[in-house]
Structure 1
Amino acid sequence: MTQGTGRPLRADAERNRRLVLQTAGRMLAERGTAVTLNEVAREAGVGVGTVYRRFPDLQALINTLYAERLTTFRQLAADAAQQEEPGRALRHYLLAAATRRAEDPALELILEHASLDQPEIAEMADELGRRVDGLVERAVAAGAVRADFTSSDAYNLLYMLGTVSDRTEQIAPGNWRRYAEVLLTGFGLQASPAERTEAMTDEQMRQAVWPRQP
């Protein structure tokens, strides 16, 4: 959709928009907010004017990236809520959200720098919060998770798993799932044996902790 009009973009314009957003997400993950719109345009292979027509500055681009991610996580929460068993519903969301986080190393930076005072973004964030609160409250009421489990635990769990993934994904893909199992079990949400992941080898740990050492 075009900003402010609600009209769909032409197919080529939408392709360029998607390309710019994907490129910006990757560059933000690699270099942080030192990235400029000119560099994003060059890396994406589109004209500088194409970028600036959609995003007047880097903040506007980050806000758009954040809104897209809020949309994704709201849908994950909505899908999880369709599970009849409350514990399964919460576990479904946490694993789905952790998977999405593992695929998106720019997420923490985008969360940190998004403008939460934007009404549309604030409303989307509030809605996501309500959906996650609902999943947590149902699971607690059903005794499917520790009685002291809260939504903040859900967010911190995702943060921890994301940190593990950022450090190990290129060395031991999917290894974060091993720690997801430990954390979910610790909170009372039983993990499936089929989801168990082997521990990293000594060599993989060396690469993860000391990546610059020969």
Structure 2
Amino acid sequence: MGYPVILVTMTTAPLRKDAARNWHRIVEVGRRLVDEGTAIQLNDVARAAEVGVATVYRHFPTPEALLETVATPGLEALTAHAERALSGGDPWAELRDFLLAAVDAQVSDPALPPVFAAPVDALPRTTELKRGLTEMFGRLLDRAHAAGVADPAVTKADMLPLMCGVMFAANVHPAGGDRALTARRYLTVLLEGLRVR
């Protein structure tokens, strides 16, 4: 997965060629560690990326900053999906499809669940993306309420922990070991309870 050179954690100015190369190398190692389920330790990242420890800390002062950078493409993809959903014509289908995309993303990208669950963000960009997703999800739910297809008693404040419950259940009790299918099944049950016909 490629990352544009302008995506840096400490500055918005483009990086020099060698610094950009190091940044990409560090993020690639971070991505690999996350995919393997290995905790990010910046000294280990420096070794695996074949760069100095100071270089890693200059780009990513904490493991959380690197984790959030690894998660950023997934957050941006969900943001783009939410934006498209808000311009769609079927409030129920757009809400349902966005929530399905959200559970699929969290099952397929192990960087996303801890970033969503973190009470504090390391990077302003992460905060911006998470707030934007929450706000757009609220608008999608409001549209479904206004169209009379979602139970008006169920609020955004209700849905956020319920979505966390879906993901937790899929991780703890994956039917046949398939977390993705289980998450979609549990989400479908939740949506059946939300929907007004």
- Taking structure 1 as the reference length, what is the TM-score of the superposition? 0.69
Structure 1 residue 132: deviation in Å?
Answer: 1.1
Aligned-pair CA distance for 1:150: 1.8
- Distance between the aligned counterparts of 1:169 and 1:13, measured in 2? 41
SS state at 1:175 partner:
helix
2:177 corresponding residue in structure 1: 171
Aligned length: 185
RMSD between aligned residues: 3.1
Q: Percent identity?
A: 28
For 1:83 and 1:90, the matched residues in 2 are separated by 10
Distance 2:27 2:177 in 1: 28
Amino acid in the other structure paired with 2:151: R
Residue 140, structure 1, aligned to residue 149, structure 2 = no
CA distance in 2, matches of 1:165, 1:187: 19
Aligned to 1:157: 162
1:40 pairs, out of 29, 45, 60, with: 45
- In structure 2, relative to structure 1, the CA distance for the partners of 1:55 and 1:118 (3 Å cut) is closer
* Alpha-carbon distance in structure 2 between the residues aligned to 1:30 and 1:169: 24
Partner of 1:87: 92
Change (3 A) 1:12 1:120: closer
Cα distance in 2 for residues equivalent to 1:129 and 1:139: 15
Whole-Å Cα distance in 1 between the matches of residues 38 and 177 of structure 2?
17
Greater length-normalized contact order (CA 8 Å, ≥ 6 residues apart): 2
Q: Please report how far the alpha carbon of residue 135 of structure 1 lies from its aligned counterpart in structure 2 after TM superposition.
A: 0.4
Q: 1:20 aligns with which of 13, 29, 53?
A: 29
The aligned residue for residue 115 of structure 1 is: 120
After the TM superposition, which residues 187-202 of structure 1 pair with which residues of structure 2 at under 5 Å, given as runs? 187-188=194-195
1:74–1:175 distance in 2 versus 1, CA, 3 Å: same
- Cα distance, 1:54–1:14 mapped onto 2, change above 3 Å: closer
In structure 2, runs of 5+ residues without a counterpart are 1-5
Separation in 2, partners of 1:137, 1:87: 10
